[in-house]
Amino acid sequence: MTKRIAFQGEPGAYSHEACRNARPDMEALPCRTFEDVIESVRSGEADLAMLPVENSTYGRVADIHRLLPHSGLHIVDEAFVRVHINLLGVPGAKLKDITEAHSHLVLLPQCANFLKAHGIRGRVSPDNARAAREVSEAGEKHSAALASELAGEIYGLELLARHIEDSDDNTTRFLVMSREDDRSRRGEHGMITSFVFQVRNIPAALYKAMGGFATNGINMTKLESYMVDGSFTATQFYADIVGHPEDRNVQLAMDELQHFTTNVEVLGVYPAARPRG
């Protein structure tokens, strides 16, 4: 039986591309919302979830950090997708024919220079893959979509202009999540441990909680805060560190963390897809 990996969006979305790149042997399962992605894995409909957590241009993906601690899933891998934006038109269309381009609100500003240079008006769509599908269905030569090459393949669109994004380093980081935890040592670039915690209501609690990572020589590559249940006084932190929970220095740092925090929860231990340094 073919295993499945769930993602949010329509076929051809960048999350779909992440699934293909990271798990080419698995069937990609599109879902309407992030909650649906998580539920599909929890129910057994899918084996893995592919969830975007942050983008190098726009920062963290809204709601994801709120969902992770209560998902019942474990991070088992990470993946990066370079966001290449392409101008896709119906068969027979030429670049000179295009007067409007449809895509997600986030993508349109990322290729503003190209659109301005060619006199193309941006049109907002709820999703870039959906924009590709709707352009294909409409069949109008003056209308194009800004999306991945995968979306062009799926919806039978022609590549009118390739990699038109203004920035050459726009990348999205994804987490691969599973029902089963896997803390085996694997990968070529070391291990990442991700966890969430809340600090105790005492002076300098966060400073003291972080002290153990500094004194034990642990590289903390991410520390983000977000409100809990809409409260301005209850703050939860999400952290990524380089290391495995069985490493002696990680054990010492986590022990010290426990003294100044509450509700420490490890979300996953997984191989780094890229060197952290």
Helices (H), 55-203: 64-67, 112-117, 128-138, 149-155
N-to-C CA span, the chain: 40
Residue 233 has pLDDT above 80, yes or no: no
Catalytic choice (34, 174, 195, 197): 174
| Element housing 39 (H / E) | helix 34-42
In sequence order, the 6+-apart residues with CB closer than 8 A to the CB of 177 are: 38, 41, 48, 49, 51, 71, 73, 74, 75, 76, 268
Q: How many residues does the chain have?
A: 277
pLDDT at res. 167: 85
Active-site residue flag, 237: no
Cβ–Cβ < 8 Å for 164, 251: no
Residue with tokens 């992030």: 34
User: What's the pTM?
Assistant: 0.92
In eight-state DSSP terms, residue 29 is E
Active-site residue flag, 80: no
What backbone phi and psi angles, to 5 degrees, belong to 63?
Answer: 80, -20
pLDDT at res. 231: 59
pLDDT at res. 64: 87
What's the rounded Cα separation, in Å, for the pair 24 and 160?
27
Percent of the chain whose predicted confidence (pLDDT) is above 70 = 97
Catalytic choice (114, 172, 195, 260): 172
Confidence of residue 202 (pLDDT cuts 50, 70, 90): confident
